[in-house]
Amino acid sequence: MDVVSSQRRMAPRNATDEQSGGAASASENKTGPLRRIRQLHRHRSSRSSSAPARLRHNRRPKIEDHYRVDPKNRALLPGVPVHNDDWARDSHDFFNLIVLIPIIVLNAMNWDWDMLLGKTSTQSAAETVVNAWTGEWFSLFWDITFLYFMIDLIWVLLVPHCVKSPGTIIQHHIATLGYIFVPYTYSKCQWCMGACMSVEVNTWFLIARRVFNKQGFPPWKLELRPFISIRVKLISIFFYLSWFLIRIFLFPGLIVPIYDMWRDLTDEVGSPFNIMLVTLPLHSVFCVLNLKWTYDLLMSKIRSWKKGEKHKVIDKGL
């Protein structure tokens, strides 16, 4: 009797548990898919919002290739980056230092310097630059320039770690190789190649600044030995001087003469779609890059001044 009565008492309880369990199971079946959808949506949202941040964090600003930058506030620090011995980078740097010299010299031999310096010319600055070009050594100048960019492009493609920004170098060299074929085809534009290739003077000092100052000495540090001090100071002075004269003043100043040559050629051939049309966007891109790099440099200095380090920046020659 006790067993029978206990089973009877347990039967309603089991029925109640089964009903509640079934209701819970039904409720879970109804909300389960919705919950999983919400979780999947939140997961995808978190991935989409976080991925660009990681990519942006890994990108290295171009200015850090040649300047010491505070990682916290992006301000310039005294001196230049310290470079340890690296065979791939050092051999590439020495190649550029050697090969750029004949390119710079041949470029200079194609100009009438008396006219260029204003000794025999009463024309405007733009007209003086155009008319001062003689082009006597243009063929050899073009051949060596073409070989240099081809060899350097292949070098960076095969040994990308020889430079800190291989992607930028590759894009620059491809654009330059296309650019120099314009004066090769259209002789009236040869002077423009000579003017643009003067930027290699600044490139030479940029590389020399790294090669001849691997210790990262600030240019105006008084404790340096005389030979090192003079060498570092001269390279730094000519680097900044050529940077602003060529990249900031000369390059933007060439846009109007290039546009005029495009209009003249358009009148000659009767169509705006001529070879000079290529030079307008290409040269504009180079100008924008020069201005961007200059902006990055100036903003880093401004952040240093705002931080209260203006006297240190001046004393260190930055």
Distance CA 267, CA 106 (A): 33
Q: Report the pLDDT value the prediction gives residue 166, as an integer from 0 to 100.
A: 94
Report if residue 263 sits inside a domain: yes
What average pLDDT does the segment 288-305 reach?
84
DSSP state for residue 61 in the 8-state scheme = P
pLDDT classification of 53: cutoffs 50, 70, 90: very low
Place of tokens 């920004």: 165
Domain end residue (candidates: 43, 59, 75): 59
- Average pLDDT for the chain: 78
Count of domains for the chain:
2
Residue 137, judged by CB atoms within 10 A of its CB (0-12, 13-18, 19+), counts as middle
What average pLDDT does the segment 3-9 reach?
49
Model confidence at 71: pLDDT above 60: yes
152 with 289, same domain: the answer is yes
User: Which candidate, 227, 216, 181, 246, places its Cα nearest to that of 318?
Assistant: 216
Half-sphere exposure of 266 (CA within 13 A, CB side): 12
Q: Report the pLDDT value the prediction gives residue 80, as an integer from 0 to 100.
A: 55
Please give the distance of CA 61 from its chain centroid, rounded to a whole number: 8
Q: Report the pLDDT value the prediction gives residue 72, as an integer from 0 to 100.
A: 64
126 with 187, same domain: the answer is yes
Distance CA 23, CA 32 (A): 14
Q: Report the pLDDT value the prediction gives residue 236, as an integer from 0 to 100.
A: 87
Model confidence at 79: pLDDT above 80: no
Model confidence at 218: pLDDT above 60: yes
Model confidence at 316: pLDDT above 70: no
pLDDT classification of 77: cutoffs 50, 70, 90: low
Domain end residue (candidates: 40, 59, 78): 59
143 with 190, same domain: the answer is yes
> Per residue in 144-170, pLDDT tens?
999 999 999 999 999 999 998 899 899
pLDDT classification of 228: cutoffs 50, 70, 90: low
205 with 129, same domain: the answer is yes
Report if residue 78 sits inside a domain: no
13 with 143, same domain: the answer is no
What average pLDDT does the segment 258-285 reach?
94
48 with 115, same domain: the answer is no
Domain end residue (candidates: 39, 59, 79): 59
Report if residue 64 sits inside a domain: no
pLDDT classification of 296: cutoffs 50, 70, 90: confident
236 with 145, same domain: the answer is yes
Model confidence at 70: pLDDT above 80: no
109 with 10, same domain: the answer is no
155 with 201, same domain: the answer is yes
Q: Report the pLDDT value the prediction gives residue 173, as an integer from 0 to 100.
A: 96
DSSP state for residue 133 in the 8-state scheme = B
Please give the residue that has the higher pLDDT: either 119 or 104. 104
Backbone angles phi, psi at 71, to 5 degrees: -65, -20
How big is the chain, counted in residues? 318
Report if residue 271 sits inside a domain: yes
pLDDT classification of 317: cutoffs 50, 70, 90: very low
Residue 276, judged by CB atoms within 10 A of its CB (0-12, 13-18, 19+), counts as buried
50 with 114, same domain: the answer is no
Distance CA 176, CA 23 (A): 74
Report if residue 76 sits inside a domain: no
Q: Report the pLDDT value the prediction gives residue 56, as an integer from 0 to 100.
A: 41
DSSP run (H or E) holding 264:
helix 255-269
Report if residue 12 sits inside a domain: yes
145 with 263, same domain: the answer is yes
**120-129, 242-251, 305-314 — most confident range:** 242-251
Model confidence at 239: pLDDT above 80: yes
97 with 53, same domain: the answer is no
Distance CA 259, CA 262 (A): 5
Report if residue 82 sits inside a domain: no
Report if residue 75 sits inside a domain: no
Structural domain that includes position 18:
2-59
> Per residue in 92-108, pLDDT tens?
999 999 999 999 999 99
114 contact partners, CB below 8 Å, separation of at least 6: 120
Q: Report the pLDDT value the prediction gives residue 311, as an integer from 0 to 100.
A: 44
